[in-house]
Amino acid sequence: MTLFRWKPEYAVGIKQIDNQHQTLIALINELHDAIESSFTPEKLNSVLQRLFDYTRYHFTTEENLMEASGYPSDKLKKHKKQHQLFIAELNGCQTDLDSMSVEDAIIIQEFLVNWLKNHILKIDTQLAEYLISHPIQTPQSNETPDSSANLAENTRRIAEEIKEIAEHAYRDTLPKEQAVRLLYLADKLLNSLEQP
């Protein structure tokens, strides 16, 4: 059963951020399934660890975008502070994973859902509005559009395949450090290809 469904109002208009939010929602739903169907501390620990790691990766992505776009420093500090407070909450949860009960897991699940909804609808929406109106500029190349068009399209396809494999592997079997690194590289490559 799905606990947290993606809705159109959660889309902030930045593909990279929206895709990562959807992955976070999928991981929260995986946590819900682990609680509802076959709760064991080991299974819960595994799902929560992946969720926590992916959350850190997502926050790093957002913070890199803010810095690269020249996001106003007061807003950047406020946004980063929210990320830091959330990570502190997650770290507090991690210390109790081995002795966590179903009731504790449900409280964490509710916290995650509420925090993510509020963060997307308020803070990330503001960030996306800024990013859309202040696109990140990449250095211009001396290559002609014709000579680089095929290379760019092939690179985009490869990056999308890498990202799809990494996201699938992240949820399944690939060691988390390798999967997070692969996701980061694929996102970085895709993001660079989306710039004018």
pLDDT in tens, the chain (196 residues): 678 888 999 999 999 999 999 999 998 898 888 888 877 777 888 888 888 888 999 999 999 999 989 999 999 999 999 999 998 888 877 666 667 778 888 888 899 999 999 999 999 999 999 999 988 765 444 444 445 565 666 666 667 667 766 666 666 666 666 666 667 666 766 666 665 4
pLDDT reported for residue 178: 63
Residue 9 per-residue DSSP state:
G
Dihedral angle of Cα 104, 107, 112, 118, to the nearest 10 degrees? -160
pLDDT reported for residue 144: 47
Q: Residue 168 CA to chain centroid, in angstroms?
A: 14
pLDDT reported for residue 145: 47
List the chain domain ranges: 11-136, 144-196
pLDDT reported for residue 103: 84
Specify the residue for token string 């992955």.
23
- The fold for domain 11-136 equals Four Helix Bundle (Hemerythrin (Met), subunit A) (1.20.120)
Which DSSP string do the residues of 50-106 spell out, in sequence order? HHHHHHHHHHHHHHHHHHHHT--HHHHHHHHHHHHHHHHHHHHHHTTGGG--HHHHH
